[in-house]
Homo-oligomer: A and B are copies of this chain.
Amino acid sequence: MLNKNNKILVVGSVAYDSVETHAGKRVDALGGSASYFALSASYFARPTIVAVIGDDFEQSHIELMESRNIDLSGLQIEHGDTFRWAGKYDPNNLNYRETIDTQLNVFAEFKPILDEKHKSTDVFFLANIQPDLQMDVLNQAGEKPKIVAMDSMNLWIENNKEDLLQLIHKVDIVFLDETELRQLTGIKDLIEASKSIIGMGPRVVIIKKGEHGLLMNSIDTDNSFSLFACPALPVDPVIDPTGAGDSFAGGFMGYLTSVGKGITEISVQDLRKAAVYGTIMGSFTVQGFSIEQLKLVSIEQIEKRYNEFINLTTVS
C-alpha cells in the first residue's frame, strides 16, 4: 500500500551522541535529527539526507544508512570531527535532561548544498537547525516543493525569532513542542496558539507533548479547523528518549510522502494516519539507545503497533 519509492529530503544534523539514562549509557552513538528522521522515514519512503559529517565518521554508519535505502548524495564530508552532543537524563524522570557537552565541530561551518536532483524532491523536512539555513535550503529549491515541513527549538525562538517567523510563512507543516509553541506565539492556550501559526500560512501544526502524545491542528479545504488528540503508545521500559521527536517526524512525513499528494490535497484522515505512524516510530526509538531499536524494525511490526494503537484509542 505504501509507495516506498517516493522521495523526501531532510536537512539537519548527523551527530555522535553520548547519552546516560537510568538504563545505562552509550558513548559516541549515532544521533542527530537527520539520522533519526531519515531512518524512521525510510520505512515509508526514500529519504535523502543533506548534512555534514567529519572524517571521523564511521563507515559502518554509512553502510547502515545505505542498507535502509537512504540517499547520502547530500552528505558532505569535511575535515574535522563530527558534531558531538553529550547529555544525561534524570534517572527518575526522563522528561528532564542536562546537556553536558556540545561540540559543533564540522557542523559549525555547515552550508547545505542541494544538487539538481535534491531540488526537485517533492517533500522537504527542515529539521531543527538555524532558521537562516533552513530558509537557504528552501531558497535553493527554487519552486516550492509539494510539501515543506519544519521543526525548531527554544534556542532559535529566543535568538532568531524574526528569521524563524519569516520561515514559518513559507512552510506547510510546523512541528513544535508545547513549550516552544507558547514561547513563539506568546499564547498560553495551545489551540489558540496553533491557530495563530496557521494564520501565518502553514496548514498543519503538530504540538508535541512527549510521553503525553500530541495535539494536531490543521485547516481543511473548507477552511474549518480539525483538531486531533493522539496519546503516545505506552512502551515499557523506555530506555532512551533521545531522537523520539525526530523519529516521530520521520514516520509522520515518511507516511505523507508515501501517500504522494500535495499539501492542499492531503485529507484530515491522511494527517491522522501520519500522526499515528509517527507515534509508532517514536515508540520504537525510545525502546533502545541511539538508533539501536529503530534500525531493527520491520514493516510487520509497524503495522502490528498501528493496530495496537487503534485498539488503545478506539472508544467503541
Contact = CB atoms under 8 A, between A and B. Distances in A.
Secondary structure type dominating chain A contacts: mixed
Contact of A229 (B192, B227, B236, B313): B313
Contacts of A189: 236-237
A315 interface: yes
B190 A316 contact: no
A314 B228 CA distance: 8
A95 to B, nearest CB: 12
Interface string A90-124: 00100000000000000000000000000000000
Copies of this chain, count: 2
A315 B273 contact: yes
Contacts of A229: 213, 231-232, 234, 312-313
A149 to B, nearest CB: 20
A192 B236 contact: yes
A313 B313 contact: yes
Interface string A76-101: 00000000000000001000000000
A177 to B, nearest CB: 14
A309 to B, nearest CB: 8
A8 interface: no
B192 A228 contact: no
A269 interface: yes
Contact of A313 (B232, B234, B315): B315
B215 A234 contact: yes
Interface string A268-280: 0100110010000
Nearest to A236: B189
A148 to B, nearest CB: 24
Q: Which 7 A-B pairs have the closest CB atoms?
A: A229-B231, A212-B212, A269-B316, A189-B236, A272-B315, A229-B312, A276-B315
10 contacts: A189-B236, A190-B234, A191-B234, A191-B236, A212-B212, A213-B229, A213-B231, A228-B312, A229-B232, A229-B312
